[in-house]
Amino acid sequence: QSSCLKLTNLLVCLFLFQPDTGVINVQSALYGRADRETCSEGKLPLQLNNVECSQQGTLDVLKTRCDGRRVCEINTNLIRTSNPCFGTYKYLETTYTCNPATHSVTCEHSLAHLQCYLGRKIFVYGAHYGRHDRTTCSYQRPTSQIQNVACSIPASQVAQRCNGKTSCTIKVSNSVFGDPCGDTYKYLEVAYICQCKWLTLYAFFFFLLPHNNISQTQLTHFLLIS
């Protein structure tokens, strides 16, 4: 498949009637080989025989980088941390769902506000602090402060402080999250839902989605990185 030739790929969530509410939730990830058909064109049989080839930790890397985002770029250098099977032609296979969520962006030195109503509680899908484009939080900023778009770290402090609350305010600053890239003007991205306190997360989505005519979308990407 042509997608096997890409060195980078995008995971994207977009609902047709609610384009600002879908966020990524990575379900599974494999770097290695699990069958003889995927990304096999032009390869020798010897390169395809090992179908029990898998790098440990791939799922954790992708979940840390992509969960809670609407768009996530996968760079091969971030995934390929080892060679789990020498001589085998490998690929990255990722399966993810697009879940409805509130997506919040707050610029550096401001306060991020998360709010739920009717007694529902905050549940944070994912949060990242840094910069990965040149347009977000760029107003009246020098070019030098918005050039670094490979600057982002997980912001686990948001979930630690806000999960289970009806409202939450957190300062967006290096003093809270650390500084992943000096001299770059950063922002905080948060994806969260308002969860009914008497329901589990799974039951909450089972109840919510059919009534809003939205269904979780499961997508699979194949990306060559051998």
Q: What is the CATH number of the domain that holds 219?
A: 2.60.120.740
Question: What is the residue-level pLDDT of the chain in tens, covering all 226 positions?
Answer: 335 656 777 888 876 555 556 789 999 999 999 999 998 989 999 999 999 999 999 999 899 888 888 888 887 777 888 888 999 999 889 999 988 888 899 999 999 999 999 889 999 989 999 998 999 999 999 999 999 998 989 999 999 999 999 999 999 999 999 999 999 999 999 999 998 865 544 444 443 444 343 334 455 555 554 5
Within this chain, do residues 108 and 81 fall inside the same structural domain, yes or no?
A: no
The domain containing residue 20 runs over which residues? Answer: 2-99+215-224
Q: Are residues 135 and 62 in the same domain?
A: no
Residue with tokens 């790929």: 9
Count of structural domains within the chain: 2
The CA distance from 182 to 164, in Å, is: 33
Same-domain pairing of 219 and 167: no
> What is the structure's pLDDT at 155?
94
- Domain co-membership, 192 together with 152: yes
For residues 92 and 108, membership in a common domain is answered with no
Query: What's the pTM value of the predicted model, to 2 decimals?
Result: 0.69
Tokens encoding 139: 């107003």
Same domain, 36 and 108: no
Residues 113 and 195 in one domain: yes
What does the angle CA 209 – CA 214 – CA 216 come to, to the nearest 5 degrees?
A: 80
147 lies in the same domain as 172: yes
Task: Please count the CA atoms within 13 angstroms of the CA of 46 that sit on its side-chain side.
Answer: 2
- Shared domain for 112 and 198, answered yes or no, is yes
How far apart (Å, rounded) are the C-alpha atoms in residues 174 and 98?
30
Number of alpha carbons in the 13 Å side-chain half-sphere of residue 223: 24
Q: How far apart are CA 81 and CA 45, in angstroms?
A: 25
Do 57 and 112 lie in one domain? The reply is no
Same domain, 80 and 117: no
Q: Answer yes or no: do 40 and 55 share one domain.
A: yes
